[in-house]
Copies of this chain bind each other. A is one copy, B any other.
Amino acid sequence: MRTIKVGMIGLGTVGGGVVRILNEHRKNFLRDQGVDIELVKVASLDVEEAQKLGVGDIFTTDGFDIVNDPEIDIVIEVVGGTGIARKFVFAALEAGKRVVTANKAVMAQDFYELLELSGSKGVELAFETSVGGGIPIIGALRNSLIGNRIESVLGIVNGTTNYMLTQMAEHGSDYDTVLKEAQKLGYAEADPTADVEGHDAAAKIAILTTLAFNTEVVLDQVPTEGITQITPLDIANAKDMGYVIKLLAISHRTPEGIDMRVHPTLLPCSHALASVNGVFNAIFVVGDSVGETMFYGEGAGAGAAASAIVGDLIEVSQRIAYDITRPYIRFGTEQLPLKPMDDVVMSYYLRLPVPDRVGVVAQTATAFADKGVSIERMMQYPAADGSGNAELIFVTHPTREGDLKAVVAEIEKLGMLADEAVLIRML
């Protein structure tokens, strides 16, 4: 049996984890899984990092050295992003190499093109790492749970924002403070946009939706709201009502189509996701036969992602070593419509900073009544910012989102807002 030759593009924390696992466990993989996996080339811009990891002798700065190396069977892509990394993935498949990738952005954007290419070239594209870090959620949806008609996929899929929201909840810190902290600890990148604006979570729910509902969706179709507007004030208000705020990625099958979205969400403290803290991820899957299942683990961090990469690597290596073909699996055979965000029905938390003057509450409440939006509870208290304004907090009964937005627009039109309205969806 021949040795499987692997090239890895990217040598950051995840790449470093993969190097460590292969160093430590290569002999066991040969003994127990029947595959001898050799890392023959690594590409990165950081030669010092490579030397530190003991791979300075198989180092190149050009990822295409790996893509074009005829000796290499499998390309691991852990660069990330849709720039050069996307080119590496396409080029590697074009060159007839198997690809193992952690790249959720590319998978969520180019899913069908990549699967098509991988099918036509007869080489596998493995992407367990793209969602949930070390949590084997892709494998579960593609294999063990395949007998189910999936009804819902829902969870916390971004470790960076979950760490930040946890810190804000536990220490009352504001957004900017926890962002700096997260950056210092390596949990957030220098440019945190993809995480804090929800794009990373949106990519993941697009991938999960594609697999769970067997329908064709891409990243751009996910209504997405990040956590940049979340304040300690709203977290404290939520807490007073017995709720926490989490960034959820959601996808439900409904009679009107797939209800898919990413947004901060007020969760009752008793909900299982409410106690998922720090960089941990947790994903619920509800199927018609299996009922409710949940998968939990570290969503970020070198070890968790490297674990998933190596899981894929061994599976793909076995297919090469034992000449095993994987049956072509069809995706997107159900073309389900997407439910427009305005038609989604939820409860809402709405905070309106208003001038503290006679008649404001009456006028505001009238705006709700006019649009037929029913209020479950309401509070008013003086704003803590010394502005002399008041904070009006509304929690609605389940309401069509379009109707609630009409209420807010009406209140704004009446000139009653002293500052921007804050709207957070509830579960």
Contacts and interface: CB of A to CB of B under 8 A. Distances in A.
Contacts of A272: 275, 296
A275 B140 CA distance: 23
Given A144-B136, A326-B324, A329-B32, A289 B310 contact: yes
Interface stretch (A88-96, A177-185, A301-309, A364-372): A301-309
A318 to B, nearest CB: 5
Interface stretch (A145-153, A220-228, A256-264): A145-153
A157 interface: no
B306 A289 contact: yes
B136 A289 contact: no
Given A149-B25, A311-B147, A304 B325 contact: no
Nearest to A270: B275
A330 B34 contact: yes
Contacts of A294: 294-297
Contacts of A329: 32-34
Interface in A303-358: 303-304, 306-311, 313-315, 318, 321-322, 324-330, 333
A148 B34 contact: no
A297 to B, nearest CB: 4
- Can you tell how many copies of this chain the complex includes? 2
Looking at A149, A291, A292, the one whose CB has the most chain B CB atoms below 10 A away is: A291
A91 to B, nearest CB: 26
A387 interface: no
Interface size class of A (residues with CB under 8 A): 35 or more
A52 interface: no
Contact of A140 (B136, B214, B287, B291): B136
Contacts of A147: 21, 25, 29, 306-307, 309-311, 313-314
A139 B290 CA distance: 15
Contacts of A290: 134, 297-298, 303-304, 307-308
A170 to B, nearest CB: 14
Given A294-B296, A307-B148, A330-B32, A139 B143 contact: yes
A195 interface: no
Contact of A311 (B146, B214, B309): B146
Given A136-B145, A139-B144, A291 B298 contact: yes
Contacts of A146: 33, 310-311, 314
Given A291-B304, A297-B294, A314-B147, A33 B327 contact: yes
A164 B233 CA distance: 43
Nearest to A302: B289
Across the A-B interface, the 6 shortest Cβ-Cβ residue pairs: A147-B310, A136-B144, A293-B297, A134-B290, A290-B307, A294-B296
A128 interface: yes
11 contacts: A29-B147, A31-B333, A33-B146, A134-B144, A136-B136, A139-B139, A139-B140, A147-B306, A147-B314, A321-B327, A324-B324
A297 B289 contact: no
Contacts of A78: none
